[in-house]
Amino acid sequence: MSADKINWQKQKKKRSAFYRNSAFYFVTLCLGIVFAVVVNIFWRSYSVSQKSNNSAAYAKATDLLQQNKPREAAKAFASLADSCNGGCTVIARFSEAAALLKANEISRAANTYMLIANNSSVPAPYGDLARLYSVQIRINTADVMALHRDIAPLLSNHNAWKTLALEAEAAIFTREGNINSARKTLEIIIKDPSTPSKLRQRTNELLNALVT
């Protein structure tokens, strides 16, 4: 077996290990974050508008999701998003994307998250979270240059999601076989004094999966 073939297999193993170590953590964390964000937005929206028809429509769409009808739920959430405004629209779009993801409609879910991200009326933390989620669910399939471009706005020093964005950036580098850049990106997280200890430990585990 040639040296190039052996090296390619090693790189493939590193990528597989990275994704195994990172995927469950990221998805679990983001689902918790999204749930908290969505509840917060919806509650504020409901308190201000008191539009019972919106809450009824949301409840109906949620029931469809609980009945394991994610495509129907996504359609219902999309209809609600188109008919309401403010926080109601944001929660409906987040919920639409989640339903599409459950239906394994990855591309449509990613596009819906980016619809939130590119909406200038959505407060930055929520729009940025949608952007982060869109990138993460496309890491295995989308063009890597497009992924780098889409994650770039989240890498600024003061962005609320910078650490998770760096982890996503490292995954993108890993997918394209740029292990050195992936390691350097993870090291930024580890060296940042503001990184929580558990997250630093988590990043060390990912870094160990990319040992050359």
The pLDDT assigned to 25 comes to: 47
Report the pLDDT averaged over residues 43-47.
51
Contacts of 112 (CB under 8 A, 6+ apart): 93, 96, 97, 100
Comparing 206 with 117, which gets the higher pLDDT? 117
Checking if the pLDDT of 37 tops 70, the result is no
Checking if the pLDDT of 45 tops 70, the result is no
The pLDDT assigned to 132 comes to: 93
**43 SS3 class:** helix
From CA 205, how far away is CA 19, in angstroms rounded?
12
The pLDDT assigned to 212 comes to: 54
**Residue-range domains of the chain with CATH:** 3-208 (1.25.40)
Checking if the pLDDT of 174 tops 50, the result is yes
The pLDDT assigned to 166 comes to: 94
Name the least confident of 25-34, 120-129, 161-170.
25-34
Amino acid at 34: V
From CA 57, how far away is CA 83, in angstroms rounded?
10
Amino acid at 122: V
Name the least confident of 35-49, 120-134, 172-186.
35-49
Checking if the pLDDT of 20 tops 80, the result is no
The pLDDT assigned to 110 comes to: 95
Closest CA to 14 of 198, 170, 188: 170
pLDDT-based confidence at residue 8 (cuts at 50, 70, 90): very low
pLDDT in tens, 77-127: 999 999 888 888 888 999 999 999 999 999 999 999 999 999 998 888 889
Instruction: Check if the beta carbon of residue 115 is closer than 8 Å to that of residue 144.
Output: no
User: With the C-alpha atoms ordered 14, 20, 21, 23, is the resulting torsion angle positive or negative?
Assistant: positive
Q: Rounded to 5 degrees, what are φ and ψ at 187?
A: -65, -30
From CA 163, how far away is CA 173, in angstroms rounded?
15
Closest CA to 131 of 30, 44, 205: 30
The mean pLDDT of the chain is: 81
Q: Is 212 exposed, middle or buried (0-12, 13-18, 19+ CB in 10 A)?
A: exposed
Report the pLDDT averaged over residues 166-192.
92
pLDDT-based confidence at residue 27 (cuts at 50, 70, 90): very low
